[in-house]
Structure 1
Amino acid sequence: MRLLQAMAGAKHGGAEAFFERLAIAFTEAGVDQRLVIRPDTAREARLRQGGVTVETLPFGGFFDLSTGRGLARLAREADILLTWMNRATRFARPTARTRLVARLGGYYDPKYYRRCDYLVGNTEDICRWLRDQGFPADRVIYLPNFVEPQNAAPLPREALTDRAGPLLLMLGRLHTNKAFDVALEALPSIPDATLLIAGEGPEDATLKAQADRLGVADRVRFLGWRSDGPALLASVDALLVPSRHEPLGNVVLEGWAQRCPVIAAASAGPASLIVDKVSGRLVPVEDAGALAAAVRETLHSADAGRDLAAAGFESLQRNFSKAAVVARYRDFFDRIAPEGRG
């Protein structure tokens, strides 16, 4: 079975990071694969370092004719073409000799996926939504993400804050969907805590102004985009995921991987992963008061945080390990690969 993967995503992002992890894991598992990506020197270097064969195409706008031709050329040598999200899928075409599979990590516009032979959703809810859009149930497949525990060492505290008290962390793109503003609203009710915000995005200036308005700017550190997420998670007392919309919540898995207590809003992804008061805490969406109360309860007892973190780590190992997820992908590929390819 020969696999071609196509990704035209952003420089940073959860899907992009998982694409890299999965591609390297496939190579480690002996999958015969080739990748085609939008030019990105850093991404190419990481993938090549992981032993992956990489080519680049522009994945441009309406007048980009070279990407479609290039992708078709590469696909002729593949049994399966796996595309990631809208842009890559838009340039892909199914053939009699190559199965076209799109992997979705969100509720994307169905118009881009009508040509696909199969659709992979990384949550059960995305798969349900795809079936509701009219896609045949036997062509919609649930394949989850994985995150590997790294046992990262904590960062020096003075590199994060000069204040005493608990450290809270949020990771992700600074976008309204992620509800960083709700966490800021909660902070005045979490005495002495410092909130670390690691990410970049369009809400940066708005969030900084909000922190000033609430009088908590001295307890908030905007770290920008960070590549040391595991070390940050190892350095804090809790991870906050108050997202308004979160199809999966890959960041929940990242928190579990570092044995960090996770406190999340009950949007679709976190609610499907976390058992409240067992493997994390769930609070209503957009409820700053409930978020603050859950944080206070978790911080009040060291045992409470440790128990949540331990149960989350156990769930990660049981359901979202690299070996388990790669095996599920390989079983799926073997089942759908066209016959008669030498």
Structure 2
Amino acid sequence: MTRLLQAMAGAPQGGAEAFFERLAPALARAGIEQHLAIRRDPARAARLRGQGLAVSELRFGGRLDLTTGPGLARLAKEFRPDVILAWMNRAARFLPRGPYVRVGRLGGYYDLKYYRRCDHLIANTRDLCTWIKQEGWPSEQVHYLPNFAADPGLVRPLPRAEFDTPAGVPLLLALGRLHPNKGFDLLLQALTYVDEAVLWLAGDGPLKAELAALAERLGVAPRVRFLGWRDDAPRLLASADLFVCPSRHEPLGNVVIEAWASARPVVAAAAQGPLELIRPGETGLLTPLEDPASLAAAILALINDPSRATRLARAGRAAFEAQFTEAAVVERYRAFLAKVTR
């Protein structure tokens, strides 16, 4: 059985970090022996240890960090993994030499100079795989391994009153870090065309105050609820009528997969990830980038045609079940690990 050392140098919150916390326990359930080296984060360490995983915390600092490299090398020597999997540029920089297969996992179009120590690269979209090959990596060293979303099963919606939301009005949901790439400013502009709809915006980040001020200027603040960072996305999705992903830059769009898992209709801007995932008019609606009016028109089209929204939601759920369940993705990882250690 493959022994796997994973190195995660991520922040306390984020899409890749959340997927790492889903993947590591899933691989353990599949019988893969692991040790996890994470950037110092007592809360994350406690969550992972609570699921029976071995965790070490390292600094994963900048250029003046003289402890992480030796620390990771020591862990590798003691654990004797077959494969070391690095998440984030910073983790890849510290990959130790030794009799290990070294793998970098990319969830975006990162500078590949950080992955020079890697023998193989994993990408979570096919477009990203194509780009890596165009950057000079041999095809046999580039592998498509998608993310999975947890199947929420039967989840109780959150009471609308909890966020001062009237019953009977269309409820839109958006999830993500409050960052320019996510395009939430475009969604607030789109909301000016969508009368009565209320938006729940779940996330935190550097644009929080700026987005709140923009909502005031646009006159939509009474219909926007800034929920902060949430750990109950399935309940939020169960509460919403429609999920919106307005990103101007979105390499994957894991939130789209999460919405599909919850059988919610999706409207998304045609960034790289949603463009690859969504079959337009079948599993969701795509709109041009940087176009609030088109985003609003797509939202209104589904609000005004509930049967169409239901068809999109069912097709999205079918796409999730076919490609993005835990079982399907874990089997891909098992096959990949077997292949590179053969």
Calculate the TM-score normalised by the size of structure 2. 0.96
CA displacement 1:224-269 (0-9 Å, x = unmatched): 1111111001001111101001000000011111111110001110
CA displacement 1:61-120 (0-9 Å, x = unmatched): 22221110111122231110000011111111342x101000000011111012210000
- Residue 169 of structure 1: aligned partner: 173
Any residues of structure 2 matched to 1:120-135 within 5 Å, and which? 120-135=122-137
Of the candidates 276, 282, 303, which is equivalent to residue 280 of structure 2? 276
- Residue 219 of structure 1: aligned partner: 223
- Residue 258 of structure 1: aligned partner: 262
Of the candidates 222, 232, 237, which is equivalent to residue 236 of structure 2? 232
- Residue 307 of structure 1: aligned partner: 311
CA distance in 1, matches of 2:50, 2:124: 26
CA distance in 2, matches of 1:319, 1:149: 12
Secondary structure at 2:275 match in 1? helix
- Residue 95 of structure 2: aligned partner: 92
Of the candidates 154, 157, 162, which is equivalent to residue 154 of structure 1? 157
CA distance in 2, matches of 1:160, 1:236: 12
Secondary structure at 2:172 match in 1? strand
- Residue 109 of structure 1: aligned partner: 111
CA distance in 2, matches of 1:57, 1:155: 38
Identity %: 55
* 1:163, distance to aligned residue in structure 2 (A): 3.0
CA distance in 2, matches of 1:277, 1:24: 35
Deviating runs (4+, > 3 A) in structure 1? none
* 1:176, distance to aligned residue in structure 2 (A): 0.6
- Residue 201 of structure 1: aligned partner: 205
Secondary structure at 1:37 match in 2? strand
Aligned length: 337
CA displacement 1:249-291 (0-9 Å, x = unmatched): 0000111111111100011100111111111111111111111
CA distance in 1, matches of 2:165, 2:308: 26
Aligned 8 A contact 1:94 1:116 in 2: no
5+ long unaligned stretches in structure 2 = none
CA distance in 2, matches of 1:80, 1:111: 20
Aligned CA-pair RMSD: 1.0
CA distance in 2, matches of 1:54, 1:26: 15
* 1:202, distance to aligned residue in structure 2 (A): 1.0
Calculate the TM-score normalised by the size of structure 1. 0.96
Of the candidates 140, 158, 177, which is equivalent to residue 138 of structure 1? 140
CA displacement 1:176-223 (0-9 Å, x = unmatched): 100000100100111100111111111111111111111111011111
Of the candidates 64, 81, 85, which is equivalent to residue 82 of structure 1? 85
Aligned 8 A contact 1:195 1:221 in 2: yes
2:306 partner letter: A
Aligned 8 A contact 2:92 2:117 in 1: no
2:296 partner letter: A
2:27 partner letter: F
Any residues of structure 2 matched to 1:45-60 within 5 Å, and which? 45-60=46-61
5+ long unaligned stretches in structure 1 = none
Aligned 8 A contact 2:160 2:166 in 1: no
- Residue 335 of structure 1: aligned partner: 339
